[in-house]
Amino acid sequence: KAGVTQTPRYLIKTRGQQVTLSCSPISGHRSVSWYQQTPGQGLQFLFEYFSETQRNKGNFPGRFSGRQFSNSRSEMNVSTLELGDSALYLCASSLSREADTQYFGPGTRLTVL
Amino acid sequence: KNEVEQSPQNLTAQEGEFITINCSYSVGISALHWLQQHPGGGIVSLFMLSSGKKKHGRLIATINIQEKHSSLHITASHPRDSAVYICAVSPPYNNNDMRFGAGTRLTVKP
C-alpha cells in the first residue's frame, strides 16, 4: 500500500505570493491533518479534514486554508506569504477521527524569500 | 508553560546503552503519541497510548495517566536509533489535533 504523498517536496516563493500544497492520503484513509514545523515553534497543528469538511483548526490566521476532495486528497493554501511562513508542512492521514495511528507524509519544505 | 514538556532536549549515548526519554503533559488527553523524526523531516509514528505499556522490538512506551507522564525507553541502543523523538498528545475531543513537545534529539555513537 502506498504511503502518504505530498507534492511538491520543495518550493520557493516570494513574499506576497500564494502557494498550494497537495497531500494524497493512504488509500482508505478519510482523515487528513496538516501541521507546520519551524525551528522556533516546533510542530503545530494547522487543521484537520474529514469527509470533505474541516473539523478542527489550529491557531493560525485566515491566510491558511485548505480543502478535501471526495477521494480524500487534500490541499492547503497559504495566501499573501510572509517570511515567517517558511517551514516544513506535513500532512498525516488516518482511517478515522477516533483514536488511531496517524501516518505522515514526507513534507513540503516551503521557503519564502 | 507548554502543554507538553519533554526531557532531556538532547541526549548522547554509546551504542548498547539503555535510553529513557520523558514526557509530561498538563492537559486532558485521549491519547499520547511517540513519534520519530529522522534528518530530512520524515515522521514515523512509534506508539499511540491511552494507558499502560506498549512494546515494539527494542522500544517500550509507558504512560501514567494519573501523573500525566509518559516515558519512551530504547533498549540496546544502536546508531540507527539516532533521530529526534517527539511526544504529542491528542485532546479528548479529537485524536488528530495533536499538541507536540519540543522533541529530544538522540545521538547514539558506535
List pLDDT tens digits, range B46-68: 999 999 999 999 999 999 999 99
pLDDT digits (tens, 9 = 90+) for B1-45: 689 999 999 999 999 999 999 999 999 998 999 999 998 778 999
In chain B, % helix, strand, coil (3-state, to 5) comes to 5, 55, 40
Q: What is the pLDDT averaged over residues A17-30? A: 96
Measured distance CA(B32)–CA(B48) in Å, rounded: 6
- Residue to mutate among B38, B43, B89, with most A CBs inside 10 A, is B43
Q: Quick check: bond before A39 cis, omega within 30?
A: no
B39 lies within 8 A of chain A by CB: no
**Nearest C-alpha neighbor of B32 from the set B83, B85, B82, B100:** B100
Which residues of chain B are within 8 Å of residue A4 when distances are taken between CB atoms? Answer: none
Residues A48-98 pLDDT 10s: 999 999 988 999 999 999 999 999 999 999 999 999 999 999 999 998 877
In the sheet with A64-68, reading across from the earlier edge strand, the strands are: A5-7, A19-24, A74-78, A64-68
3-state secondary structure at position A80: coil
Q: What is the pLDDT of residue B1?
A: 66
List phi, psi (to 5°) of A29.
-80, 135
* pLDDT digit string, tens, across residues A32-48: 999 999 998 999 999 99
Gap between the Cα atoms of B50 and A2, Å rounded: 28
